[in-house]
Chain A
Amino acid sequence: MSELKMKILELLKEDARRSADLIATMLDVAVEEVKAAIAEMEEEHVIVKYATVVNWSKVDDEKVTALIEVQITPERGRGFEGIAERIYLYPEVKSVYLMSGAYDLLVEVEGKTLKEVASFVSNKLSPIDAVLSTKTFFILKKYKQDGIIFEEHEDDHRLLVSP
């Protein structure tokens, strides 16, 4: 990955709505170079998607999110891949990580209600043959996600004019 691409990624990670023009100015390179680099990274799926980080607790229809530790028996020849796929294809599953340590997959599940998430675990996740056990932890409050602090107060405490 070129240095330019890394810098572009950092700037887009902070704010995905930054235009190629602005990025070109910030990095002091030609706008065509920036556009080409972004196009390449989109093509290669380095940039997967430009999504919005939402603080759902500020929205009326609050969502319930749980982190589920899943122990599984790996499949011969395929390891964890097949079983991970069977899990992540469910739309209610928001993220899946293969973990080191006491369990194998960390699954993030989102639902409208607590009951909905519980029913996903008992009716969809646990019955999968390879799944040995699950431990479900409901998220009570999100303080920070992907480096973004949710309730950050960006008040400027500085004097308006100073030497």
Chain B
Amino acid sequence: MIKDEEIQQQVKPQRSSMNDYLAPGAREMKPSGIRRFFDLAAGRKDIITLGVGEPDFVTPWHVREACVYALERGKTQYTSNAGMPELREEIGRYLDDSFNVAYDPASEILVTVGGSEAIDLALRALITPGDEILVPEPCYITYSPITTLSGGVAVGVETFAEDNFKLKVESLRKVVTPKSKVLILCYPSNPTGGIMTYEDWLPIAKFVEENDLIVISDEIYAELTYGSKHVSFAAMPGMKDRTILVSGFSKAFAMTGWRMGYACGHPELIGAMLKIHQYTIMCAPIMGQVAALEALRNGMEEKDKMVESYNQRRRIVVQGFRQIGLECHEPQGAFYAFPSIKSTGLTSEEFATRLLQEHSVAAVPGDVFGMGGEGHLRCSYASSIANLTEAIDRIGQFVRKLKGI
């Protein structure tokens, strides 16, 4: 006969620490490598940072003022789950005008709490446990952990400095399997500054079709390209219905803290995402939505000025890195340079740690962004020219010291 106690022991696991209460997905999730650098740099006043992944501009005044005015008028309520209709209409118009891709504001556009929420919703809506999600790397740090949390398997796809970190179909072919379901794209790329042109996209689009994939295209840096206009993957022939376009206001309009993003796509996909969104979030904050509307209606001129300013600073840092003897491919989008530090003999982690400790410059080691990031350093040039010049000087001293010059 089995005693009651034994039955209880069988069903109820022994939990000796709080950690045992955690869901495996949360327990096993690795802390972000960026976080470690944040802790190293925290509290130090002497640091020049190239580690910041956001604009150095404050949100333009007319946008802030529109929000203040709306608050004064008492706009403090929920909005419709998908976001204010006039904002969705404005987003639709903007995407059509700027990137040649038309969405129906009523059923194909969802306003989210930053692009981050849109990525989470898309992955949760699409992943059946065991599905493989193709993630070109180096890339923004969020995709793999969220994939894993949803029960998916993130499969890295390597990209290379000698290709300017463009995604090549050969690399996709190496890793694709019948289980592959989703391809995540992030171009212009954080951290590499790489972009994809129409010609670059063509073989990728064909591959997506052949392998019956859904694409989550994170185009948060779409406005920040230099030399050529951004080509949305959703605008490629036949790709609109297969693509969930994710974007937002953070980078283009210097609105990171507002947490305003959106997702666009096929009504059935957006509909599923909307269901999750309405149960978890309800709606994006109305203050942010009002500000986003103002940014789209009247913010283009100021946005263009900011982009021009990034471009000028991009040239300064790329030339600067090359002059101090670091190989640096030409970043054509976002606001990051991704120089190679391989010639110094250090790993990214060692280089970034010592650079911070010995020369008080913060930058993010490339390996935290996944495959192909090792040997590189992510340097944000969203910083003043004085800071950039000083940072490059200090990195130059460090490189000379390492090379014994």
The answer to whether B49 and A163 have CB atoms under 8 Å apart is no
Q: A156-B56, A158-B52, A158-B56 are in contact. Are A163 and B315 (CB under 8 A)?
A: no
The answer to whether B312 and A160 have CB atoms under 8 Å apart is no
Which residues of B (118-143) have their CB < 8 Å from a CB of A?
140-142
Q: Does A39 reach chain B (CB closer than 8 Å)?
A: no
Which residues of A (139-163) have their CB < 8 Å from a CB of B?
156, 158-163
Contact with A along B383-404 (1 / 0, CB 8 A): 0010000000000000000000
Q: How far is the CA of A115 from the CA of B305 in the complex (A)?
A: 45
Q: Does B222 reach chain A (CB closer than 8 Å)?
A: no
The answer to whether A28 and B315 have CB atoms under 8 Å apart is yes
Q: Does B38 reach chain A (CB closer than 8 Å)?
A: yes
Which residues of B (41-84) have their CB < 8 Å from a CB of A?
41-42, 44, 47, 49, 51-54, 56
Which residues of B (215-257) have their CB < 8 Å from a CB of A?
none
The answer to whether B52 and A25 have CB atoms under 8 Å apart is no
The answer to whether B51 and A160 have CB atoms under 8 Å apart is yes
Q: Does A30 reach chain B (CB closer than 8 Å)?
A: no
The answer to whether A161 and B315 have CB atoms under 8 Å apart is no
The answer to whether B319 and A162 have CB atoms under 8 Å apart is no
With a cutoff of 8 Å between Cβ atoms, the chain A residues found around residue B51 in the complex are 160-162
The answer to whether A161 and B316 have CB atoms under 8 Å apart is no
The 8 residue pairs across chains A and B that have the minimum distance between CB atoms: A161-B51, A26-B312, A161-B38, A160-B41, A162-B53, A161-B37, A160-B49, A158-B52
| 30 A–B contacts from the bound complex (CB under 8 Å) | A11-B312, A25-B315, A25-B316, A25-B319, A26-B312, A26-B313, A26-B316, A27-B312, A27-B315, A158-B52, A158-B56, A159-B52, A160-B41, A160-B49, A160-B51, A160-B52, A161-B41, A161-B49, A161-B51, A161-B52, A161-B362, A161-B364, A162-B51, A162-B54, A163-B32, A163-B34, A163-B53, A163-B140, A163-B141, A163-B190
Contact with B along A21-50 (1 / 0, CB 8 A): 010011110000000000000000000000
Which residues of A (81-106) have their CB < 8 Å from a CB of B?
none
Q: How far is the CA of A162 from the CA of B190 in the complex (A)?
A: 12
Contact with A along B127-165 (1 / 0, CB 8 A): 000000000000011100000000000000000000000
Q: How far is the CA of A162 from the CA of B32 in the complex (A)?
A: 10
Q: How far is the CA of A122 from the CA of B156 in the complex (A)?
A: 81
With a cutoff of 8 Å between Cβ atoms, the chain A residues found around residue B32 in the complex are 163
With a cutoff of 8 Å between Cβ atoms, the chain B residues found around residue A160 in the complex are 38, 41-42, 44, 47, 49, 51-52, 362
Minimal Cβ-Cβ distance residue in A for B41: A160
Given A160-B44, A162-B54, A163-B32, 18 further pairs, Cβ under 8 A: A25-B315, A25-B316, A26-B313, A26-B315, A28-B315, A158-B52, A158-B56, A159-B38, A160-B38, A160-B42, A160-B51, A160-B362, A161-B34, A161-B41, A161-B49, A162-B34, A163-B53, A163-B190
Minimal Cβ-Cβ distance residue in A for B368: A163
**Most B CB within 10 A of own CB, among A11, A22, A163:** A163
**Most B CB within 10 A of own CB, among A11, A22, A27, A162:** A162
Q: How far is the CA of A4 from the CA of B315 in the complex (A)?
A: 16
Number of chain B residues close to chain A: CB under 8 A:
26
Whole-angstrom distance between the Cβ of B188 and the nearest chain A Cβ:
15
Number of chain A residues close to chain B: CB under 8 A:
13
The answer to whether A162 and B52 have CB atoms under 8 Å apart is yes
The answer to whether A22 and B316 have CB atoms under 8 Å apart is yes
With a cutoff of 8 Å between Cβ atoms, the chain B residues found around residue A158 in the complex are 52, 54, 56
Q: How far is the CA of A161 from the CA of B53 in the complex (A)?
A: 7
With a cutoff of 8 Å between Cβ atoms, the chain A residues found around residue B37 in the complex are 161
Q: How far is the CA of A27 from the CA of B312 in the complex (A)?
A: 6
Whole-angstrom distance between the Cβ of A88 and the nearest chain B Cβ:
34
Q: How far is the CA of A161 from the CA of B383 in the complex (A)?
A: 12
Q: How far is the CA of A115 from the CA of B264 in the complex (A)?
A: 67
Whole-angstrom distance between the Cβ of A43 and the nearest chain B Cβ:
26
Whole-angstrom distance between the Cβ of B147 and the nearest chain A Cβ:
16
With a cutoff of 8 Å between Cβ atoms, the chain A residues found around residue B49 in the complex are 160-161
With a cutoff of 8 Å between Cβ atoms, the chain A residues found around residue B38 in the complex are 159-162
Q: How far is the CA of A163 from the CA of B364 in the complex (A)?
A: 9
With a cutoff of 8 Å between Cβ atoms, the chain A residues found around residue B315 in the complex are 25-28
With a cutoff of 8 Å between Cβ atoms, the chain B residues found around residue A159 in the complex are 38, 52
With a cutoff of 8 Å between Cβ atoms, the chain B residues found around residue A22 in the complex are 316, 385
With a cutoff of 8 Å between Cβ atoms, the chain A residues found around residue B47 in the complex are 160
With a cutoff of 8 Å between Cβ atoms, the chain A residues found around residue B362 in the complex are 160-161
With a cutoff of 8 Å between Cβ atoms, the chain A residues found around residue B141 in the complex are 163
Which residues of B (291-319) have their CB < 8 Å from a CB of A?
312-313, 315-316, 319
Whole-angstrom distance between the Cβ of A153 and the nearest chain B Cβ:
11
Whole-angstrom distance between the Cβ of A26 and the nearest chain B Cβ:
4
Whole-angstrom distance between the Cβ of A160 and the nearest chain B Cβ:
4
Whole-angstrom distance between the Cβ of B348 and the nearest chain A Cβ:
14
With a cutoff of 8 Å between Cβ atoms, the chain A residues found around residue B313 in the complex are 26
**Most B CB within 10 A of own CB, among A25, A26, A159, A160:** A160
Whole-angstrom distance between the Cβ of A27 and the nearest chain B Cβ:
7
With a cutoff of 8 Å between Cβ atoms, the chain B residues found around residue A163 in the complex are 32, 34, 53, 140-142, 190
